[in-house]
Structure 1
């Protein structure tokens, strides 16, 4: 397959040698730059070395912690423990951690964790980014030596070992050997037989009606006698497979929309190989979003389109919409952004992995491979929640010998995709590193675009516990637009908050509406002024789409448009979703 745009850049043989050598190191480190890590430690340590007052403060903190531990031990570990785990840290939930000597080991670990929380605060003159990276690396190092990771230092593992006569360790060793063999051979873990794409995942009926080198377009079979005249086009993220929005039948957002009387189209991105190494971010707009919109309007002519983008799909949709506004293209009836960022100044913990050194290192690795591999990308996300996604999982799997029950979302989570080298470099550099979109420096086809040009009404949603697209960052869409906008903040994380079907227990959301004449409201004030409502946000969105649609409903359009060169190409979920 020929790349849609350009050719590999030519460069001097010396530079090729440099890049090749860095690519070798990058493969060994999983894409993490040793220089970036060393620079962060050097910045922190050198500034701390010139701060005697801060050194005394940290020494005093250490002595106070030691005194608290000594007092706690002297009481026979009776009374309230001086240190508590962080919210969300469940490594010490087992009741055995309240008994000696396990409670002393736990408290010693938490005391070290508490000291590093203070020590990693930036000394005067050090950059906050480097201090945050030092705190992150210190946390990773501490997680390695946590007493929860040891057979003899974890009461839960010890109890299980005694009860099973060591059977848990035998089962865990077999799993460890199997996982290591699979990693060495490049094999992926097979999902539970109870889950299969096309059978009970991504199983909403439909047909592929368009295909190019970047995506397949799926048109879903109508389930109501009448539909809204305006179709819905869903632009998913290309970092994972599209079917997070069509997971199981009971929590499929796509199925829900179809049942509400909407004609729904969804893009299913290709899983790129090195053949697409030169595909750019603009190719994803031009040959992706715009090609999909063109196909939808040929199938449903004379109807404006409700466009919805999720995560990275929302970012590229915002770019496409701003470009359309500049060109006076009025085909969008509304724009929905789900957990999608348009401004990246508060992009969350992912920024820990990004600076010029780190980006150059990643670019050299992708230059060599032609893409960013699934495992290399997944490692960064796991590291953000290492105590849960790495160490707690390893303890359960290899030391407790427990089977990990699979769920629909865990199967999807393991079904990652690659990303073309040029596109991923464009995205990281132009948006994450340089924040060009809201800084007035993002050019499409040689001319700068502006989000404030967008006239179509917007529905923007953030999730409370999102560590990939923090809701404060998502909320910034209200700062850089001037159109009618509804903002929703829902309970959950980046994926779980989206899967919030009606009837889902324990769900709530907040919703607010901004008209053109209202001034900007900061996110914390917005939060305080909009009380939580119980239930799912899905009906709110469906009702909002209905209000932005025409009053009359019509007969469902045909599947595809053979007369316009768009015949059905095969049943949903298509072929790209099965690419590995």
Structure 2
């Protein structure tokens, strides 16, 4: 089942590197190694290794392998710092400890081999990624026969853990994905996505939610939030204590939010232009009409930020400037540095997508979910294989992982346009390099102060890539741009409410062009970056006025209560 395979999106590349005859040579002892099969695989992939470099790696490996064997014979337990092997069962059983240590030695050797490959940067990155995927999959922790924790559980439960694990594995195979949490513990609108509000507009692409004020007065200019369309909006409204939406409402903003439809076959011809015109631009005009305001505070998260920026550039080309401020969280506008996601995008893979779904069709949400899981396979795949299947443990409830499992489809034409014009050809950052909705796009024409946020450990939008937006927006007026760097990753860095008093963030008010220079001069502060953002929003949101008594308007009456119907549609 392709969606159940964490390497499915690698297609040909993983196939080249997961050839047992080649790789298993490196799982043997040093005296038995034969480099020929592996070198042939590298040649087919477009890479090579200098003979002297290979010899050095082999000699280092042989020396370490000999020492490890001597320690094993002498009953010396190796030190195991890898968190997969830190339990007492691994350390108390010499054979298991040796198995783990030998695996880690082989893993280090294979990665050193991959990093020594002479190839183009893109090919080399793919080789390293594929090797890492193979290494993660071959961990002795992933197999009952070599996992002492799972074996102990099997004996302790008299086989019940294995029976339960098999049952859970079969259930997951039916779902087409690995269960990461107790999904029965959550219900959208009941204990996630619970901030009170009303749907005040809908079309085929989205519902527009207006949230109920929690303060007597609100800022004159409302806030429009555009989340990514590749997953559900409620990552911004999980629980009351970690809800970005509720925080903004508590700060006195009248918040409107786009809840994207989960596409089905009726949307299999929807384009990127449709997402801009019928999506973001329609949302902007609707909020303006309901609020009576000419300008709004605007917000985009991840792909939502790319959609928002494109829409604002299209409107700027039409002589319209509806944004009083722009917030972009972990957003790519310049796609020259896309981190590890770059391994999934090349001419061959994009062309293949275009041939299959470029004119009509859907990209299943589970394909995207598999891709993102593969980026952190140990955390999002093998960890659950070990716990759910080998040990028969039921995953505990966790709102973030429930959201992570609630994937969405994408229209094929929209997705293919996005892949080619941003990730592959990087045209969005080129003034007038693209035509969208009948207008040439120039991000430099967006006339608004901008708050840009990046997460330091983000593997989807590297923070340096988020920082690159400072050179595209407000050219000639860098003082209108604010960049803040937060700790942690793509999601945990964003969803970091002040009350938790967790993590830290960096700020630098000097106007510098290079991300490294910015970080060198930045100061670190404990806690959440949200208050810094709140100050920025307050500065541009206008005076305080009486909060609206009801949602919508005469022309846009409330349709249903938040979170609405669209967010509850699950991908097949």
TM-score, structure 2 as length reference: 0.88
Whether 1:568 aligns to 2:561 is no
Q: Structure 1 residues 163 and 36, CA, compared in 2 at 3 Å: closer, same or farther?
A: closer
CA-to-partner distance for each residue in 1:330-366, whole Å, 9 max, x for gaps? 2211000011111111111111111111112223343
Matched ranges for 1:366-405 at <5 A? 366=357, 370-405=361-396
Whether 1:364 aligns to 2:349 is no
Matched ranges for 1:19-98 at <5 A? 30=8, 32-34=10-12, 44-45=42-43, 54-75=50-71, 76=74, 78=76, 81=79, 85=82, 90-98=83-91
- 2:158 paired residue among 161, 165, 172: 165
- 1:119 paired residue among 113, 122, 145: 113
SS of match in other structure, 2:185: coil
- Contact kept, 8 Å, 1:246 with 1:253, in 2: the verdict is yes
- Contact kept, 8 Å, 1:35 with 1:357, in 2: the verdict is no
Matched ranges for 1:417-436 at <5 A? 417-436=408-427
Matches of 1:329 and 1:42, distance apart in 2: 58
Q: CA deviation at 1:327?
A: 2.9
- 1:338 paired residue among 329, 346, 360: 329
Matched ranges for 1:136-175 at <5 A? 136-175=129-168
- Contact kept, 8 Å, 1:207 with 1:218, in 2: the verdict is yes
Q: More displaced, 354-363 or 286-295?
A: 354-363
Whether 1:252 aligns to 2:252 is no
- 2:102 paired residue among 100, 108, 120: 108
- Paired position in structure 2 for 1:443: 435
- Paired position in structure 1 for 2:472: 480
Q: Structure 1 residues 558 and 431, CA, compared in 2 at 3 Å: closer, same or farther?
A: farther
Matches of 1:326 and 1:339, distance apart in 2: 25
Whether 1:291 aligns to 2:310 is no
Q: CA deviation at 1:38?
A: 5.0
SS of match in other structure, 2:327: strand
Matches of 2:261 and 2:369, distance apart in 1: 18
- 1:278 paired residue among 254, 269, 275: 269
- Contact kept, 8 Å, 2:290 with 2:552, in 1: the verdict is yes
Number of residue pairs matched by the alignment: 541
Q: CA deviation at 1:26?
A: 11
CA-to-partner distance for each residue in 1:183-207, whole Å, 9 max, x for gaps? 4xx9999954432111121111111
- Contact kept, 8 Å, 1:58 with 1:118, in 2: the verdict is no
- Paired position in structure 2 for 1:578: 568
- Paired position in structure 2 for 1:321: 312
- Structure 2: tracts of 5 or more residues without a match: 19-38
Matches of 2:175 and 2:44, distance apart in 1: 43
Q: Structure 1 residues 49 and 216, CA, compared in 2 at 3 Å: closer, same or farther?
A: closer
- Paired position in structure 1 for 2:214: 223
Q: Structure 1 residues 495 and 450, CA, compared in 2 at 3 Å: closer, same or farther?
A: same
Matches of 2:98 and 2:184, distance apart in 1: 44
- Paired position in structure 1 for 2:31: none
Whether 1:301 aligns to 2:292 is yes
- Paired position in structure 1 for 2:126: 133
Whether 1:547 aligns to 2:539 is yes
Q: CA deviation at 1:445?
A: 3.9
- Paired position in structure 1 for 2:462: 470
- 1:495 paired residue among 491, 496, 499: 491
CA-to-partner distance for each residue in 1:55-111, whole Å, 9 max, x for gaps? 332233122122113223323364875x864xxxx3223233334222221122122
Matches of 1:490 and 1:228, distance apart in 2: 26
SS of match in other structure, 1:272: coil
Matches of 1:237 and 1:476, distance apart in 2: 20
CA-to-partner distance for each residue in 1:262-281, whole Å, 9 max, x for gaps? 10000000011122122111
Q: More displaced, 213-222 or 194-203?
A: 194-203
Whether 1:177 aligns to 2:170 is yes
Matches of 1:92 and 1:98, distance apart in 2: 8
Matches of 2:345 and 2:395, distance apart in 1: 32
Q: Structure 1 residues 444 and 542, CA, compared in 2 at 3 Å: closer, same or farther?
A: same
Q: CA deviation at 1:249?
A: 1.1
- 1:452 paired residue among 444, 448, 452: 444
Q: CA deviation at 1:561?
A: 4.5
- Contact kept, 8 Å, 1:338 with 1:461, in 2: the verdict is yes
Q: Structure 1 residues 349 and 430, CA, compared in 2 at 3 Å: closer, same or farther?
A: same
- 2:187 paired residue among 151, 173, 196: 196
Q: Structure 1 residues 42 and 220, CA, compared in 2 at 3 Å: closer, same or farther?
A: farther
- Structure 1: tracts of 5 or more residues without a match: 1-23
Matches of 2:437 and 2:360, distance apart in 1: 28
Task: Tell me how large the CA RMSD over aligned residues is.
Answer: 2.8
Q: More displaced, 494-503 or 59-68?
A: 59-68
Matches of 1:399 and 1:426, distance apart in 2: 42
Q: CA deviation at 1:42?
A: 7.5
- Paired position in structure 1 for 2:530: 538
SS of match in other structure, 1:308: strand
- Paired position in structure 1 for 2:25: none
Q: Structure 1 residues 27 and 424, CA, compared in 2 at 3 Å: closer, same or farther?
A: farther
- Contact kept, 8 Å, 2:13 with 2:126, in 1: the verdict is no
Q: CA deviation at 1:560?
A: 4.4
TM-score, structure 1 as length reference: 0.87
Q: CA deviation at 1:578?
A: 1.2
SS of match in other structure, 1:489: strand
SS of match in other structure, 1:282: helix
